[in-house]
Each structure stands twice: as C-alpha cells, then as structure tokens.
C-alpha cells in the first residue's frame, strides 16, 4: 500500500532526493519484491522509468528545480512527477508565522490538489511521509500547515514527519522559536515524528565518515540511509536466537489504510504491484524481469546502481526468488502503530550501525555481537552516534529508573528509557541473532504494552554484510527559546502574521508537557 512523500522547503527537498536515490540503490541491489517498489514509486508512461510518489513544495523555485534536475541526471531508473511540484518566487524569510499563516492559506488549495492527484495514482494509501526542517519558515511553518491540511483531508491515513533539528549553535537567529512552534503543532496532527539532529549528522560525517568539511549533501546522505534502513521491508521475528515468536497483530485504533479517491481498496488486476503481467501495469524496473506470474517478485537482472545511484552496471542476480523479503511491505504503518500507539508519545529517535565510510566496508569484518552491543549502548545512553559511547552507564546505574525504584541513592548519569522500540536487522544470519538484551525491562516503561518488536531481512543493506537500526519512542528535549521570549526578541516579526505572545506561551506549555511526559518514562 503506497506511501506518498512530501518534500517541504530546502532541507526537505534535498533530503528527499537523497532518500529516493538510496531506496533506488537498495531496490536495484536486492529482491525486495514488486509491491515494495510500488510502496514508494509508480510506473510511468516511459517503460524504462518509474516515478517517485512524491510532491515537492518550496516557496523558492531554485531548490525544487535542483532536486528534479539531480534525479534526472542521476542515471537511475526513477524521476519526480512531471507536474508534481508547487513553487513561488519568494521565500518565507525564516519566519515560521509567515510560512504557516502567510503562505499556508495562499497555497492550501493548490497543495491539496497536488496531493490528491498523486493519491489517485495509487489503488490504496498507507499514508504520508513529510520531510522538513524545523529551523526555517517554509519547511517548518508551511510544512506544519500542510501536515494539518492533510489530517483534515485524509482522516484515517497515517502521517509521519521526519524533521531535521537545527544546529545547537544556530543556523538562524529565530530557530528556537521556529523549532518549538513546529514541534508543538505537529504533536497534534502527526502520528509520529522522527527527529534527526543536524549536530549529530555533522559529527557522524566528520568523525565516523572522515569528511573534513561535511556538506549538507553529506549529511542528507547519512540521514537518508538511516531512514531507508527503517522503511525497507523486513520480516517479524523474536528477540532470541532461533525463536519463532512473531509480534501480535497491531491494534490500529482509528487508523486504517485509506482508499484512494476513485479507486477501490486493495490491488486491482492491472494495478502496480498486483503481480499481473496484463495491461499497462506490467511495467517493470528497467532491465529487471519477474520470476514468474505467480511470484510477482523482482529478480534476475537489475539496473545495478551498486554504490552509486547512476551506475548502469548490473549486479549479480539476487537468486532464490527473493524468499524471506517483503513480509512487511508497508513499514510506515507498522512502525507508527507499534511505536506510537499512545497519543501522548509521538517522538521517535533513529539509531543505526555500522556508521563507517563506504570505502571502508569491503575491508571491515562484521559480527553481530559487536554491532548489537554498540547499538544497545546507544539506546542506554541516548546517543545517536556509534563513537564516544559512555560504557559506564547501564540500565542499573544510580541515575536510572531501575535504581530509583530500588530506593534513594546518589545521583548518577542519565539513563535513557523508551516507551517502545523496533529493532531491524539486515544481512547474513539476521534471522538468528540473539538480541535478548534489548528486551531488558529496565530499558522501557513498565506499562508499555509491546516494548520491543524485532524484524529482519537476509539481504545486505548499503553493501554491509550485517547492519542494524533501532527506532525508539524516546526523546530528551532541548529547550532554549524561553530566554528569547522573555526579552521579546524578534516577536514583532511574528506578530504581524497574527502570532501573539500568548500563542508562543501556549506552544511552549505544550512542549513542557511533552518533555515532562518523557521524563517520567
């Protein structure tokens, strides 16, 4: 069931281009199945190309034109929709209020119409993935307005926001305002917010990838790989080696797959991903063949992006008909249902290992115990970096909830706790890895209904023989806008678009409430 991606503002459009290139590389390298490809791409009139299920929005034309040109010049088998974008000639001036209250009502009808046209290209709908920054005016302000508009139009569709948290040092003087205004409003309309920190992405690129002066392109590539690792198909399994445990069926509450306008729910005979070879829906990825009419899986020859999105060299055939892949072909719905079932807890942190330069992959020896040990310590310490972990912190440290429950003691280091986590293992032996340490009750809230879900795929990700990512419902809040508000700094720039000091205070009260909830986990 397809997911439609909305790329909002400069950051969202650049991240989106990296995301679709990363997905294309992985789909070309491994047999995830036709249905998985159709989750993010749809067949186009050109039999040699697929079209990304995406809408691009920015208030300046340059970035959107750059993303579309980059996709066309990549040499890959995908492109953006020919008319699936909305631009104007003047930006939002890094002013959240201008994006939300100024441009939002102006572009509402056009934006909703673009999304409707893309939805009608699908036979059913999982939901929306919104990529945006939290620091500026268009991605943050207008992006938040678009999210609210989607909630009004598509009540039962899932909405996930992947938001880039700004540098602590400050890219924009008013970024604390923009960030907290975005977060407080999205908490009311989004089913889950994946927060990616620029500071952490920069440190990953500099320290672990060895890039002396990381660019936004480098950081977007790292973020896109982490996001793709979570959103590619995987198969449910239990935390212990050889276990046959499968997580129980999720309780979807008010969210269900949303039938697209003008189409019946479910895959039609000639719909993308139906496995049918009849009619126009028989479009295949370039140079790919289906195993047979009953399997309906991508196999054999591949467009072969390899380590570069534009490569035309076919990699070896995946073999085996792709068995073991694609059990969960709509990961967005599963992730949001399992991790964000409680309406008061919507913030998600994404961690992944290994974090190393692509040039080092072929010379690195991978072992599951080493990877999972580091990933668990990242969860315990709250770090998103594999490097510089504090190994003295354990779930039983004096500052942990477990220690507090045992009785009063000396103050100790902060121990991170999650409401729920989803661990995804990819590569050789991923189905048999013992990850029981992630099921430690001290790592999650005692009242969590399903604290840990585990899934796997036998295929490599990013050419690594073994890799893992962990998506957790946890967040330690960063708040430093209160001092600015007390001095009324720059508030007049927001007031002229209808945002008052009282509105600021109401938003900050919501953020304080969210922070306190997570502190009680």
Residue 288 lies in a domain: no
The confidence score (pLDDT) of residue 396 equals 81
Residue 41 sits in a domain of what CATH number? 3.40.50.1440
Q: pLDDT, tens digit, for every residue of 468-519?
A: 999 999 975 544 455 555 556 788 888 888 888 888 888 888 888 888 888 8
Greater pLDDT, 126 or 267: 126
The confidence score (pLDDT) of residue 487 equals 56
- Whether 297 shows a pLDDT value over 70: the answer reads no
pTM of structure:
0.82
Residue 179 lies in a domain: yes
Q: Tell me the DSSP string of 323-362.
A: TT--SBS-HHHHHHHHHS-STT--EEEEEEE----GGGGG
Greater pLDDT, 273 or 103: 103
Nearest residue to 454 (alpha-carbon basis) of 335, 348, 355, 341: 335
Q: pLDDT, tens digit, for every residue of 416-454?
A: 899 999 999 999 999 999 999 999 999 998 898 889 999
- Whether 281 shows a pLDDT value over 50: the answer reads no
Residue 163 lies in a domain: yes
- Whether 369 shows a pLDDT value over 90: the answer reads yes
Residue 92 lies in a domain: yes
Q: pLDDT, tens digit, for every residue of 343-361?
A: 899 999 999 999 988 888 8
CB 514 within 8 Å of CB 343: no
Q: What residues make up the domain containing 111?
A: 3-190
- Whether 25 shows a pLDDT value over 60: the answer reads yes
Split into its structural domains, the chain has a count of 1
The band of 239, judged by pLDDT with boundaries at 50, 70 and 90, is: confident
> CA 21: distance to chain centroid?
14
Q: What's the token pair of residue 127?
A: 């939901």
The confidence score (pLDDT) of residue 89 equals 80
Average pLDDT score over the chain: 81
Residue 57 lies in a domain: yes
Residue 429 lies in a domain: no
The confidence score (pLDDT) of residue 291 equals 31
Helix axes 9-29, 216-231, angle to 10 degrees: 50
Residue 376 lies in a domain: no
CA angle 243, 249, 255 (to 5 degrees): 145
- Whether 401 shows a pLDDT value over 60: the answer reads no
Residue 140 lies in a domain: yes
Least confident of 93-107, 136-150, 279-293, 408-422: 279-293
Mean pLDDT score, 296-314:
34
- Whether 19 shows a pLDDT value over 90: the answer reads yes
Q: pLDDT, tens digit, for every residue of 370-392?
A: 999 999 999 999 999 998 899 99
The confidence score (pLDDT) of residue 213 equals 93
């Amino acid at each position: 069931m397809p997911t439609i991606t909305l790329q909002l503002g400069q950051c969202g459009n650049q991240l989106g281009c990296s995301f679709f290139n990363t997905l294309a590389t992985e789909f070309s390298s491994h047999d995830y199945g036709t249905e998985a490809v159709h989750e993010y791409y749809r067949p186009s009139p050109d039999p040699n190309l697929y079209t990304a299920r995406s809408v691009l929005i920015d208030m300046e034309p340059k970035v959107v034109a750059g993303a579309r040109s980059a996709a066309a010049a990549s040499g890959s088998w995908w492109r953006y929709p020919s008319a699936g974008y909305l631009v104007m000639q003047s930006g939002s001036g890094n002013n959240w209020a201008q994006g939300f209250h100024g441009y939002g009502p102006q572009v509402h009808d056009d934006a909703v119409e673009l999304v409707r046209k893309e939805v009608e290209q699908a036979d059913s709908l999982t939901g929306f993935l919104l990529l945006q920054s939290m620091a500026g005016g268009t991605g943050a302000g207008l992006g938040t307005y678009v999210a609210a508009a989607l909630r009004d139009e598509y009540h039962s569709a899932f909405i996930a926001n992947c938001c880039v948290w700004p540098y602590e040092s400050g890219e924009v003087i008013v970024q604390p305002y923009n960030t907290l205004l975005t977060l407080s409003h999205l908490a009311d309309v989004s089913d889950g917010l994946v927060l990616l920190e620029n500071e952490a992405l920069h440190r990953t690129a500099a320290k672990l990838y060895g890039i002396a002066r990381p660019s936004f392109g480098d950081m977007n590539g790292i973020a896109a790989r982490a996001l793709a690792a979570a959103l590619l198909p995987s198969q449910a399994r239990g935390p212990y080696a050889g276990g046959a445990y499968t997580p129980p069926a999720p309780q979807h509450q008010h969210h269900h797959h949303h039938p697209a306008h003008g189409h019946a729910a479910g895959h039609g005979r000639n719909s993308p991903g139906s496995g049918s070879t009849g009619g126009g829906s028989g479009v295949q990825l370039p140079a790919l063949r289906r195993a047979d009419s009953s399997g309906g899986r991508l196999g054999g020859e591949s467009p072969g992006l390899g380590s570069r999105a534009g490569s035309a060299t076919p990699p070896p055939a995946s073999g085996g008909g792709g068995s073991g892949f694609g059990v969960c072909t709509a990961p967005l719905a599963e992730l949001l249902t399992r991790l964000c079932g409680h309406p008061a807890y919507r913030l998600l942190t994404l961690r992944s290992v290994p974090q190393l330069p692509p040039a080092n992959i072929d010379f690195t020896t991978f072992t599951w115990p080493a990877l999972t040990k580091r990933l668990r310590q990242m969860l315990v310490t709250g770090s998103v970096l594999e490097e510089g972990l504090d190994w003295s912190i354990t779930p039983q440290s004096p500052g942990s909830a477990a220690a507090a429950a045992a009785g009063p003691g000396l103050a100790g280091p902060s121990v991170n706790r999650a409401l729920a986590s989803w661990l995804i293992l990819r590569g050789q032996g991923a189905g048999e890895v013992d990850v029981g340490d992630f099921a430690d009750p001290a790592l999650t809230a005692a009242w969590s209904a399903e604290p840990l879900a585990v899934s796997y795929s036998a295929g490599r990700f990013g050419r690594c023989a073994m890799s893992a990512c962990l998506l957790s419902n946890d967040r330690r809040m960063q708040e430093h806008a209160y001092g600015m508000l007390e001095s009324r700094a720059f508030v007049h720039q927001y007031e002229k678009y209808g945002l008052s000091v009282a509105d600021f205070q109401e938003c900050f009260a919501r953020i304080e409430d969210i922070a306190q909830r997570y502190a009680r986990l």
